A and B are shown apart, each in its own frame.
Chain A
């Protein structure tokens, strides 16, 4: 199993790419869980998938090389994710309805649009379906470089604004009284989430992205550590689930994404059970 960590391993890009996506989603997921944005964590990956399906339907799959197809798909994913975010923010300014209702509407539209665009696609259903599920095994050096660059940018912005993001998430009214505009920093968080989800959907698919936005954060938060340690533990769980998940799926010849998710779920359940037992015995 250790061969998957070797630099010469055939699927090295898949291991590294999956790891980057999972860690990125796990860290941002701490805010998704704390701010009760879990439904957004389902809707945005689905919007990204709808965007991929739309561009493939609209352009008729005439993208030349696989690299070009990936670029087109990434463009569709980014455009659809940020359109969905923009609609949520704009509608939120005028609406008194709970945001969950609008997110639910976007999720329903995105799910049906994805299926319709796949059904209407004249050619290449298979290619499109594999893009929608994420193409971990097909990550090229160029894709990996792009993924690493976007992930690094997200990480830098996240670290730079770590205090502001916590402040506006925990107590937005207090943040306003000390000169930190919650709308502005909410936008920073949404932009980071949008970028991570877009590139994550392209790489690992909407299911893995959603699962890693939720499960590692749920497990890490159960441990009752500090905020910094919660981020670190969520990242560690994502690392164990993705690298371990790839090794298991490689050995058992199973699809990688579902194994990643199952491993993260097992860790979450184990942590929850252990913490419950500890509390009972205390």
Chain B
């Protein structure tokens, strides 16, 4: 686990009074593509939230490299359509973590967003209202926002849920390109095993209160 930007060592994960996952040990390796699979309620989201640092382990530990930056792509349904934001505005949020509140946004932040939108194939529709974009287009915008944070690890929560097959393939291709081009470690929660099986390096199966990792040939 020495080179891992993020490692979980013998951690019990869950919430006070509710253990969800027991004795989890795993390491996120640089540049790998991992699918996190499991039934509804199996603990996938708890694992993701623990990796993000939103949930503290009940026992054991989660170690993060000091320079770790996680790009997080939430389920798009969690975002409110009524905000008057364009796709580009949403992607721009990814750069705000680096700018103190009293400073104006530097030009470099805007060019970073342009690059991120290009990398996700989202530039052509980025000027449209976020609320008016299709599910697949919104997902690309959210991935671009995560990229704009300049992450070393990308965590995605069901990025292909509710999108058509063509959009799903396009999103998975874009992720594979990002992994290759930028050396990003990508962990993605999904229900679609068929769609990801041939694209990922490992599968993390979450079931019966445990996480089992399978290497892909």
Contacts and interface: CB of A to CB of B under 8 A. Distances in A.
B72 interface: yes
Contacts of B93: 166-167, 170-171, 174
Interface centre among A34, A160, A174 (most CB of B within 10 A): A174
Contacts of B105: 163
Nearest to B70: A177
A271 to B, nearest CB: 14
Contact of B97 (A171, A173, A178): A178
B84 A178 contact: no
Number of chain A interface residues as a range = 20 to 34
B52 A170 contact: no
Contact of A221 (B52, B82, B99, B145): B82
A226 interface: yes
A164 B94 contact: no
A163 B105 CA distance: 10
B96 A178 contact: yes
Contacts of B79: 170-171
A98 interface: no
B54 A176 contact: yes
A227 B94 CA distance: 17
A24 B79 CA distance: 27
Contacts of B97: 178-180
A77 interface: no
Interface in A221-239: 221, 224-227, 229-230
B72 A34 contact: no
Given A177-B52, A221-B84, A167 B96 contact: yes
Nearest to A35: B80
Contacts of B70: 177
B149 interface: yes
B78 interface: yes
A225 B85 CA distance: 8
B57 to A, nearest CB: 17
Nearest to A161: B101
Given A163-B105, A170-B85, 9 more contacts: A160-B102, A166-B93, A169-B83, A170-B90, A173-B78, A178-B94, A226-B84, A227-B84, A230-B84
Closest 4 CB pairs of A and B: A178-B97, A177-B72, A163-B96, A179-B97
